[in-house]
């Protein structure tokens, strides 16, 4: 059982209480149109409800739901329901939300086991009552004021988590993708340039080299897992991406971003922000380690953020599969590397659910031999983004680095430009421990074709002559930018280092993976094995 009664601050919490880095700036929030479909709210510290001892910072969250660790549900639900009644709100457990329980090694002491699980609470208006719109932050703060901050340990906002490609403006916001606005029109000319075609934004390219060489005689291959938009059809990936993994989060196949490029916004054929994201990521892993087997689970939509509850549910499912492998139970799955290209900014040091549940889930994976690699984010800030910032922080920059030989660390990855300078959009700080190419990188794309046309076309002598079609990806390769793509590159490199020392049997791999993975982490980051 997880002990929530006497919480010990994790490394990120301790750092957060030190004087703030002047570059620890609040990022620009996503546009309202992007978060409204999920009942998204923006927490504004200038107007947010506060309680003594808590200084909120901006974040984006689902206004009508809260997350609760299952072990805490019976204790906190009566408190939340009591204060909800005062506002005319109902608070109930979402019976349609099914999060499994997993019993895993304790990241602090693998000799012990802890049970982890998640419940979602849904807020509504009481029958026959006229009330203000339910707000999860307000409810949480009222409960803290009523019962004390410590009594709400294990309760957290359902944050909206963003993927980490550089955003492209929606076609309604720009006259035509071939037209470039004057630099004076850009709010931050340097960073926004990465989202524009020609300077790092998503655009078609032609790859003319040979495919990565995948050997057929590997007896034991490293396994890399992705939680993203899924993976589309591609001749490189058909041989590397495996489908024999259980479903974690049921989603409608008709909303697959890797098959249908335009699912959100106006019916204008413009490709959505995340369309092709997972295929691009899988291609980078394949380039870094062609002999790796890739497991892909679709949890990300074609446009905008996703609720943290969906991500947590998928993670609990992944942890459950690895736990069965670790304990040699039927139905287990070995995952050597987990690549995550999404994250959020939590609102206060009192967001203990992030540290205890998310941190424990990823920490238990480290105990069981899975290296977790996370994108640092694209907000050009030193403000910690999670889950990337749950890893060890550099002590030389005010952090607290505590690593143990029995647990692989979380590796946070920032993005480099083609000339190996740090990309201007990349987040940074003592919690970013690895850097890899992430600006104007080339990788695989599904065969998507958007609604834009070439700027010029003419038929001459029976042939079609035209300029480049800016959103025709039938060539199945693209250039794109973002820490979304730095993380899988590092994940693939970890897999390659593991492959170089791979034993010939599964049992020997199981027995030696921690030492070999620690060596791999030391090769791709500045985190040294203890």
Output the tens digit of pLDDT for each of the chain's 530 residues. 444 333 343 443 333 334 455 566 566 667 777 788 888 999 998 899 988 878 888 999 999 999 999 999 999 999 999 999 999 999 999 998 878 899 999 999 999 999 999 999 999 999 998 989 999 999 999 999 999 988 998 999 999 998 867 655 444 334 333 434 444 334 445 787 888 888 888 999 999 999 999 998 888 999 999 999 999 999 999 999 987 778 888 889 999 999 999 998 878 888 999 999 999 999 999 999 999 999 999 999 998 899 999 999 999 999 999 999 999 999 999 999 999 999 999 888 767 777 789 999 999 999 999 999 999 999 999 999 999 999 999 887 655 677 999 999 999 999 999 999 999 999 999 999 999 999 999 999 999 999 888 889 898 888 989 989 999 999 999 999 999 999 999 999 999 999 999 998 889 999 999 999 999 999 999 999 88
Is the model's pTM score more than 0.85? yes
How many whole angstroms separate alpha carbon 444 and alpha carbon 459? 30
How many whole angstroms separate alpha carbon 174 and alpha carbon 171? 5
Name the H helices within 355-466. 359-367
How many whole angstroms separate alpha carbon 127 and alpha carbon 524? 57
Q: What are phi and psi of 137, to 5 degrees?
A: -65, -45
Angle, in degrees to the nearest 10, between helices 483-500 and 506-524: 130
In this prediction, residue 28 carries a pLDDT of: 61
Q: Are 381 and 25 spatial neighbours (Cβ–Cβ below 8 Å)?
A: yes
Nearest to 93 by CA among 116, 60, 126, 70: 70
Q: Which residue has the tokens 């509850």?
A: 309
Nearest to 342 by CA among 299, 382, 380: 299
Q: How far is CA 72 from the centre of its chain?
A: 25
Q: Which residues pair with 42 in a beta bridge?
A: 60
Q: Are 317 and 245 spatial neighbours (Cβ–Cβ below 8 Å)?
A: no
The string of DSSP letters for 128-187 reads T---PPP-HHHHHHHHHHHH-TGGGTTEEEEEEEEE-SPPPPPGGGSS-TT----GGG-T
Q: Are 257 and 302 spatial neighbours (Cβ–Cβ below 8 Å)?
A: yes
In this prediction, residue 167 carries a pLDDT of: 55
How many whole angstroms separate alpha carbon 343 and alpha carbon 85? 33
C-alpha Rg value of the chain to the nearest Å: 23
The CA-to-CA distance between both ends of the chain, in Å, stands at: 28
Name the H helices within 201-272. none
Nearest to 256 by CA among 229, 228, 226, 225: 229
How many whole angstroms separate alpha carbon 469 and alpha carbon 471? 6
Side-chain-side CA neighbours of residue 266 (13 Å): 7
How many whole angstroms separate alpha carbon 312 and alpha carbon 364? 14
Joined together, the tokens standing for residue 267 give 């019916």
Q: How far is CA 387 from the centre of its chain?
A: 7
In this prediction, residue 190 carries a pLDDT of: 74
How many whole angstroms separate alpha carbon 244 and alpha carbon 172? 40
Side-chain-side CA neighbours of residue 202 (13 Å): 29
In this prediction, residue 27 carries a pLDDT of: 62
In this prediction, residue 431 carries a pLDDT of: 94
C-beta contacts of 505-510 below 8 A and 24+ residues apart: 505/219, 505/220, 506/220, 506/334, 509/220, 509/334, 510/334, 510/369
Q: Which residues pair with 85 in a beta bridge?
A: none
């Amino acid at each position: 059982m997880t002990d929530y009664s006497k919480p010990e601050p994790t490394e990120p919490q301790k750092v957060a209480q030190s004087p703030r880095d002047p570059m620890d700036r609040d990022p620009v929030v996503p546009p309202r149109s992007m978060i409204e479909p999920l009942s998204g709210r923006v927490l504004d510290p200038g107007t947010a409800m506060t309680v003594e001892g808590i200084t909120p910072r901006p974040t984006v969250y689902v206004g009508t739901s809260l997350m609760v660790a299952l072990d805490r549900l019976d204790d906190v639900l009566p408190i939340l329901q009591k204060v909800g009644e005062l506002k005319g709100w109902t608070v109930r457990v979402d019976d349609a939300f099914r999060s499994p329980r997993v019993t895993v090694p304790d990241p602090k002491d693998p000799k012990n086991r802890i049970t982890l699980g998640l419940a979602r609470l849904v807020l509504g208006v009481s029958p026959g009552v006229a009330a203000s719109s339910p707000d999860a932050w307000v409810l949480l703060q009222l409960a803290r004021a009523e019962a004390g901050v410590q009594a709400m340990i294990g309760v957290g906002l359902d944050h909206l988590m963003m993927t980490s490609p550089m955003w492209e403006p929606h076609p309604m916001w720009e006259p035509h993708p071939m037209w470039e606005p004057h630099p004076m029109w850009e709010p931050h000319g340097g960073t926004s340039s990465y989202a524009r075609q020609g300077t790092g934004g998503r655009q078609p390219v032609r790859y003319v080299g040979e495919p990565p060489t995948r050997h057929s005689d590997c007896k034991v291959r490293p396994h890399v897992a992705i939680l993203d938009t899924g993976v589309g059809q591609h001749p490189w990936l058909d041989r590397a991406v495996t489908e024999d993994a259980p479903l974690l989060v049921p989603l409608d196949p008709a909303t697959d971003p890797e098959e249908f490029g335009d699912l959100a916004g106006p019916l204008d054929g413009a490709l959505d922000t995340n369309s092709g994201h997972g295929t691009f990521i899988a291609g980078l892993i394949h380039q870094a380690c062609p002999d790796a087997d890739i497991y892909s689970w679709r949890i990300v939509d074609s446009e905008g953020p996703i609720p943290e509850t969906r991500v947590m549910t998928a993670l609990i499912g992944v942890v459950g599969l690895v736990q069965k492998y670790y304990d040699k139970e039927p139905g287990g799955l070995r995952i050597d590397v987990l690549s995550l290209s999404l994250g959020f900014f939590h609102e206060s040091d009192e967001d203990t659910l992030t540290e205890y549940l998310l941190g424990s889930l990823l920490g238990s994976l480290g105990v069981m031999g899975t290296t977790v690699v996370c994108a640092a984010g694209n907000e050009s800030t030193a403000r910690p983004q999670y889950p990337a910032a749950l890893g060890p922080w550099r002590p030389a920059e005010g952090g607290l680095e505590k690593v143990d030989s029995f647990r692989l660390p979380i590796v946070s990855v920032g993005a480099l430009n083609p000339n190996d300078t740090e990309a201007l959009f990349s987040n940074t700080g003592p919690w970013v421990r690895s850097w890899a190419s992430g600006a104007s990188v080339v990788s695989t794309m599904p065969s998507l074709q958007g609604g834009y046309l070439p700027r010029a076309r003419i038929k001459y002598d029976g042939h079609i002559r035209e300029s480049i079609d800016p959103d025709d990806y039938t060539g199945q390769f693209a250039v794109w930018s973002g820490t979304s793509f730095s993380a899988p590159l590092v994940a693939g490199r970890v897999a390659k280092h593991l492959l170089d020392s791979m034993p010939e049997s599964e049992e020997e791999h199981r027995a030696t993976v921690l030492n070999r993975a620690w060596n791999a982490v030391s090769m791709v980051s500045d985190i040294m094995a203890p």
